Structure 1
Amino acid sequence: MPQRPLARALTALVAVLTAAVGAAAVPGAAHATAHAAAGVNYVALGDSYSSGVGAGPYDQSTCLRSEKSYAPLWAAANQVASFTFPACGGAVTADVIGSQVNALSTGTTLVTITIGGNDAGFADVITSCRFGSTSSCTDAVNEAKVFATGELPGRLDRTYAAIRDRAPNARLIVLGYPRLFETGSCGLLAMSTYKRTILNEAADLLASVTAGRAAAAGATFADTRPYFAGHGVCAAAPWIRDVSGVIEAYHPNADGYRYGYLPALTAVTG
């Protein structure tokens, strides 16, 4: 996620096995789903939460794409006819409109995307909260929330419209971001409960705005928050990385993509 994507790659901002259990309960259900998806031409767009930052290992591009992200996992499990993966760590809506949509065509039948966190500057917000004072954290969160309700909706609308224009026959699925934190005890060096709480509230607002614009565009919104519940930073078994790596901090780890994002996508694709 060149220098600009790496700087923005920190963006942040239950029933995990429901789909798998449901398929196992019905004889042949998993086979039927894979068969139904066999004719799917799938393109995965978006930012670092789509490219798989945090899961590793990565391809040789600057986009930090991982085969352990939810998109390649879903494509492999469903034996799709074709899979294209232009998602890129650090991407903003302008990057999707300006370049990623070039991977779409009238033959595309499924598009997934996570986008908007970098536009709202959540990398800087999390940095302010992790290393700054309580007041600087509060100010950064409030500024991001103003952007999320003011400027971001129009950017999302233009992004979804560009996808529709390039792939008029595709189903568009917009995946949201999870809450990043648990708010219980987290050790002396962790962010305060207050900081973690207001960051989660900002994530909730971002999810609400994104869901609303996705619905307006006729897209399906896949809410990942229930799937990550109990597995944020400070959990006993976290699916979100803390500051273990500059690039990967506050992104899902491999379990987060497999047991959080993948079931969320599977739940809405049947």
Structure 2
Amino acid sequence: MRRALARGLAAAATLALATALPALASPAASAAETSPLRYVALGDSYSAGSGIWPPDPQAAPQCLRTTSNYPHVIAASTGATLTDVTCGAAQTKDFYMPQWPGVRPQLDAVTSGADLVTLTIGGNDNNTFIGAIVACGSAGTATLGYGQPCKDLYGSRFEDDVRTKTYPAVRQALADIRAKAPNARVAILGYPWILPAAFDRTCYAKMPIARGDVPYLRSLQTTLNDVIARAAAETGATFVDLSAASEGHDACAPATSRWVEPVLFGTNTVPVHPNALGEAAMATRTMAVLGL
């Protein structure tokens, strides 16, 4: 009798404990499930959305950052808590030193508590984007769009710089982000197409690049995106490839469908940069790749 009673009390106690534990654990589990992503956005003008309205009141004026950039779109879509330190004209060196007076090194924003870090970087290293566009635009204007004057003048110089200088700098930056935020998902975006796949005389009025230099600059952008993808693979980051998604949305596409603004007759104050449609598309692609 006593043994049966003891067994009954023990069973009842076990059942009560088993019932109570999930109830006690559920508030913490629920809080963890609903806790917003701690999201840090780093990078250059393609991440800052330079030239797009409205400006971000929390950014230094020199950074030309907008609240319509892809980090803000991602944060709004996911409910993430965003720390945005993107800044126009940033190079990888600006992750480690102040880009402007009062603008802290971007890596200072990355902490061990970060859940997500996104960035675009590398396009400004060695003056790649601006240098190549200005050089090839000047050369194309001089030949009225004929020939390949930029390729003839500069040869492999731009691509050599990307392979030997930009690649190790991007790889190191990604490794340092990983070291500061070991548990975060790190996603580095490639750059969307600036020029179409083939020369178009109507495009020349907006992007004065000579016929033979269109594939030359496309090759340069391919090389840049390739080294970024390689650096990502070697550091455990996710590469968000925009090549296929941005095809047909280059700076020569109609205003209603282009993601990047042209040198001439564009709608943004900063040419050869994504517009609001482009930033939204970059956000959509990034969320799809990350499964957000």
Measured against the shorter chain, the TM-score band is: 0.7 to 0.9
For the 8 Å contact 2:137–2:209, the answer to whether it is kept is yes
Identity of aligned residues (%): 33
Deviation at 1:178, TM superposition (A): 1.4
Going from structure 1 to structure 2, the CA distance change for 1:90 and 1:142 (only over 3 Å counts) comes to same
Deviation at 1:242, TM superposition (A): 0.8
Alignment of 1:149 onto 2:149: no
1:75 alignment counterpart: 75
Going from structure 1 to structure 2, the CA distance change for 1:241 and 1:37 (only over 3 Å counts) comes to farther
Alignment of 1:195 onto 2:210: no
1:89 alignment counterpart: 88
Going from structure 1 to structure 2, the CA distance change for 1:193 and 1:269 (only over 3 Å counts) comes to same
User: Which of residues 33, 41, 45 in structure 2 aligns to 1:44?
Assistant: 41
Query: How many Å separate the matches in 2 of 1:138 and 1:55?
Result: 35
For the 8 Å contact 1:125–1:141, the answer to whether it is kept is no
SS in 2 for 1:174: strand
Structure 1: 4+ residue segments shifted above 6 A: none
For the 8 Å contact 2:199–2:214, the answer to whether it is kept is no
2:279 alignment counterpart: 257
1:132 alignment counterpart: 139
Query: How many Å separate the matches in 1 of 2:156 and 2:131?
Result: 12
Deviation at 1:184, TM superposition (A): 4.4
User: Which of residues 110, 116, 119 in structure 1 aligns to 2:122?
Assistant: 116
Superposed CA deviations along residues 63-102 of structure 1, whole A, max 9, x for unmatched, are 111111111000001001x210001000000101331010
Q: Which has the larger radius of gyration?
A: 2
Alignment of 1:267 onto 2:288: yes
For the 8 Å contact 1:141–1:202, the answer to whether it is kept is no
2:107 alignment counterpart: 101
Deviation at 1:186, TM superposition (A): 3.7
SS in 2 for 1:132: helix
Superposed CA deviations along residues 111-142 of structure 1, whole A, max 9, x for unmatched, are 00100010032211100111225434554462
Structure 1: segments with no counterpart, 5+ residues: 1-34
Structure 1 range deviating more: 105-114 or 161-170: 161-170
Query: How many Å separate the matches in 2 of 1:85 and 1:151?
Result: 26
For the 8 Å contact 1:37–1:78, the answer to whether it is kept is no
Larger relative CO (CA 8 A, sep 6+): 1 or 2? 1
Superposed CA deviations along residues 177-225 of structure 1, whole A, max 9, x for unmatched, are 0121112424253322322221111111111111001100000000111
Going from structure 1 to structure 2, the CA distance change for 1:97 and 1:139 (only over 3 Å counts) comes to farther
For the 8 Å contact 1:92–1:115, the answer to whether it is kept is yes
Structure 2: segments with no counterpart, 5+ residues: 1-31, 98-104, 141-147
For the 8 Å contact 2:120–2:189, the answer to whether it is kept is yes
For the 8 Å contact 2:44–2:88, the answer to whether it is kept is yes
* RMSD, aligned α-carbons: 2.1
Query: How many Å separate the matches in 2 of 1:110 and 1:145?
Result: 31
Could you state the TM-score of these two structures normalised by the residue count of structure 2?
A: 0.74
Deviation at 1:232, TM superposition (A): 0.5
For the 8 Å contact 2:38–2:114, the answer to whether it is kept is yes
Deviation at 1:42, TM superposition (A): 0.2
Going from structure 1 to structure 2, the CA distance change for 1:212 and 1:243 (only over 3 Å counts) comes to same
